[in-house]
Chains A and B, each alone.
Chain A
Amino acid sequence: MNILSGSCRVLYVMALLLCMTGCATEPAQTYSEPQRVFPELKKPPSDPHAVVNVYDPLEPFNRSMYNFNARFDRYVFLPVLRGYEFITPDIAQTGVTNFFNNLREVNNLINNVLQGEVIDSSVTFGRFLINSTVGVLGVWDPATKMGLFVREEDFGQTLGKWGVGSGPYLVLPLFGPSSVRDASGLAFDYASNYQVDLLDLDDANRDAVRFSVTALQSIDERQANKFRYYETGSPFEYELIRYMYTQMRDIEVEK
């Protein structure tokens, strides 16, 4: 029950944000025609797979959110990440990464089970057991050295496997490119992580600890992601990223 209310809350906040941006429309200004005009390009593309042909009815909201994320990344996230990299020895950073990857095995396991992947579920379970014990609470990753590679799955992919379409493209605050389906998946994964509570943070009043753990986890995830906003060299980065995200998720779901 708690799980559902968790994801509902996220959806509610998103709906609120959509209303706020959707209402801002301005009258179009008129200009003289430029030298080259391509009338056929003002219509929806005939090419069903055209790069710009991603279903994006929430586009105004998404664009502002994309730019918000880019600014947040530049002025907050990356400076914090650089500070973290500066004060933390490489080996400790690897330990942190392994530790959070190990926590994430809970989600990998749930979703492999939900998708009926017997082998992947066993491997994930095996990884979790080995890394949590021999790997000292997941700080080391001996399972990979033994040939048990990570089987990443999330609830967005599970929904995709179950036949749920991706729905509109959606840029989430801080999380970045997603879709309505994948955003719900993300909410589910967070909620289930919260429920399982591996770190036993629920016990006492440990909000401060929970906050610090989440902050460290975010920094670790940002480090793993090599993407930097507005360094693609294209003024059409929004369109390119939207296309690439959609393609990538299609492939991941199919796998």
Chain B
Amino acid sequence: MQKSISLLLGLLLSASAWSALTPDNYHYPIDDKYDATVIGTPPEFSAVVSKKTPVKVHTIKSIGNVPDLFWYDDGLQFSTALQKHKAPLVFNIAGTGAAYDSAKMIKVQAILYHAGFHVINISSPTYLDFLLAASTSHMPGYAPDDAKDIYRVMQQAYDMVKDNIEVSEFHITGYSLGALHSAFIANIDKREKKFNLQKVYMINPPVSLYNSVVVLDRLAYVDIPSVNGVPQAGTFLDHVIKKLAKDYQPKRGVHLDDDFLYHAYKENRGEGVFSDKHTAAGLIGFSFRLSSGAIVFASDVMNNVGYIVPKGKIFKRNENLDYYARASMMVTFQEYVDDMLIPMLQKKYPNYTSQDIIRNTSLHAIEDFMVSNPNIHIATNRDEVILADGELAYMESVMGDKITVYPTGGHCGNIDYTVNARDMVAFLKGGVAQ
């Protein structure tokens, strides 16, 4: 009896600790941080409902002309999902290299729309279309300037749809780099008051873009085998793809869809392609390098930098780009920042040291705003992939109770997990703190 009472007391006393998120009460199904990042949230755990979302795509005119090589770019596209009644509007900003219609963006849009919000999805300035059509520098990566570009695009986008909707108030959200941008944009809006943005929900932000880039760059080198310093990405991919196809013989009628990776993962634990720790990490590294390669090449051409493309070179529409496809994959994002971005910025802002520039594109630069604004919230994971040592602790100390740290999920793997979606909606719906 004594024993059971003390046990009960113990339970009661620890109840407050239990209300925090632990692996025991958070049932996101993928334990490994890299696997989670690649596979995401399986449909049976996702908050995305099968109801149709009335998504419309619009195009904003390009701010300038693009070379013939990029003939296919005819302006910046964005998408809307709008309510028929008065509702709050959420701007949703994409992560590195991602478009308004990338998988994560569509999921967040669907969750928010069906929770009663108008939603406008905007591509990342690091996405090719934005870089070509809407970036004033055509060389993305500097958050203060990129945020200005997005802020301008938000106004253009809203102008195009405002006659058809009634908006009660404006919020902003974003994931990964888009989360960092959201905070910078909210900071701009505090002065310019174009929207009077109320709430800022940041999903898996980097603390310092530069530090995260270093972490992600390494994955392509460490987790993909190299020969003479050239990562053999093709052999790596070929292995992963063939192994996936062999591991996972889909039941007839099952197709290559969102489900596919998770089934391949679940049914072959221990021996499947994901049992190799380098698989998921290498895939993240590869896809990051693919995005960064696009940025390196496109900003080189757009600004005539002469970095991997000879100065003055004019590409024909149908020109062979094999060499540049390979060369751009060899350049790390860190090298892009050091060799292209920082020199360009130092021409524009002669007083800045490279340290200033790196610091300016981190949360440190807007720490006062982060601390003083009660309507800003960070959602991240204990096993976040893109943070450097000490950065999670930094965010926790600065944000206090304005941060939620989920036990698992890697980088954005749990973005549409039911618990995460519920918290996001609850925060955006809750009253504005004064």
Total residues of chain A contacting the partner, CB 8 A: 47
Whether, in the assembled complex, B309 has its beta carbon less than 8 Å from a beta carbon of chain A, the answer is: yes
Give A184 to B127 CA distance when docked, in angstroms.
38
Q: Is A125 an interface position by the 8 A CB rule? A: no
B197 at the interface (CB under 8 A from A): no
- Bound-state Cα–Cα, A255 to B288, Å: 31
Among B212-220, B234-242, B385-393, the stretch in contact with A: B234-242
Q: Are B72 and A151 in contact (CB under 8 A)?
A: no
How would residues 110 to 151 of chain A score, 1 for a CB under 8 Å from any chain B CB and 0 otherwise?
Answer: 000000000000000000000000000000000010000111
Q: Are A36 and B308 in contact (CB under 8 A)?
A: yes
Q: What residues on B are CB-neighbors of A247 within 8 Å? A: 238, 241
Inter-subunit contact A63/B318 (CB<8 Å): yes
B307 near A41 with CB under 8 A, answer: no
A234 to B32, CA, bound (A): 29
CB of A60 within 8 A of CB of B327, answer: no
**Residues in chain A near residue B232, CB distance under 8 A:** 47, 49-50
Asked whether, in the complex, the Cβ of A36 is within 8 Å of the Cβ of B242, the reply is: no
Q: Are A251 and B325 closer than 8 Å at their CB atoms?
A: no
Docked Cα-Cα span, A243 to B286, in Å, equals 15
**A144 and B253: CB pair below 8 A?**
yes
B27 within 8 A of A: no
Beta-carbon contact of B324 and A236 below 8 Å? yes
- Pairwise interchain contact A254-B245, C-beta atoms closer than 8 A: yes
Instruction: Report A23-43 CB contacts with B as 1/0, cut-off 8 Å.
Output: 000000101111111101110
Question: A26's closest neighbor in chain B, by CB?
Answer: B316
Point out the residues of chain A lying under 8 angstroms from B36, CB to CB.
none
Contact of A236 with B230 in the complex, beta carbons under 8 Å: no
Interface: B150 (CB within 8 A)? no
Most B C-beta atoms less than 10 A away, residue of A33, A36, A40, A46? A36
The verdict on A231 contacting chain B, using a C-beta distance below 8 Å, is: yes
Are A41 and B294 in contact, CB atoms less than 8 angstroms apart? no
Number of chain B residues whose Cβ lies closer than 8 Å to a Cβ of chain A? 57
Interface membership of chain A positions 201-232, coded 1 if the CB is closer than 8 angstroms to chain B and 0 otherwise: 00000000000000000000000000001110
B321→A239 contact, CB < 8 A: yes
A residues near B310, Cβ cutoff 8 Å:
31-34
Beta-carbon contacts of B320-336 to A below 8 Å, as 1s and 0s? 11111111101100000
Q: How far is the CB of A167 from chain B (nearest CB, A)?
A: 19
Known: A32-B311, A35-B306. A235 touches B318 (CB 8 A): no
Tell me the minimal C-beta distance from A245 to chain B in angstroms: 13
Q: How far is the CB of B9 from chain A (nearest CB, A)?
A: 56
B422 at the binding interface (Cβ < 8 Å):
no
- The minimal Cβ–Cβ distance linking A153 to chain B, given in whole angstroms, is 12
Q: Find chain A residues with CB under 8 A from B318 CB.
A: 60, 63-64, 67
- In the assembled complex, the CB of B99 is this many whole angstroms from the nearest CB of chain A, namely 6
Q: Are A238 and B234 in contact, CB atoms less than 8 angstroms apart?
A: no
Per-position 1/0 for A1-31, Cβ under 8 A of B: 0000000000000000000000000000101
B residues in contact with A29, CB < 8 Å: 313
A40 to B235, CA, bound (A): 17
Q: In this assembly, does B233 line the interface, its C-beta being within 8 Å of a C-beta of chain A?
A: yes
Minimal Cβ-Cβ distance residue in B for A150: B253
Can you list 10 A-B pairs, Cβ within 8 angstroms, ordered by A?
A31-B310, A31-B311, A32-B310, A32-B311, A33-B310, A34-B311, A41-B326, A233-B97, A233-B294, A238-B321
* Interface of B toward A, CB cutoff 8 Å: 69-73, 97-99, 101, 127-129, 227-228, 230, 232-235, 237-238, 241-242, 245, 251-253, 290-291, 293-294, 297-298, 305-313, 317-328, 330-331, 339
Residues of chain A touching chain B, judged by Cβ–Cβ distance below 8 Å, are 29, 31-38, 40-42, 45-53, 59-60, 63-64, 67, 70, 74, 144, 149-151, 229-231, 233-236, 238-239, 243, 247, 250-251, 254-255
6 nearest interchain CB pairs?
A149-B253, A31-B310, A50-B234, A49-B234, A49-B238, A230-B72
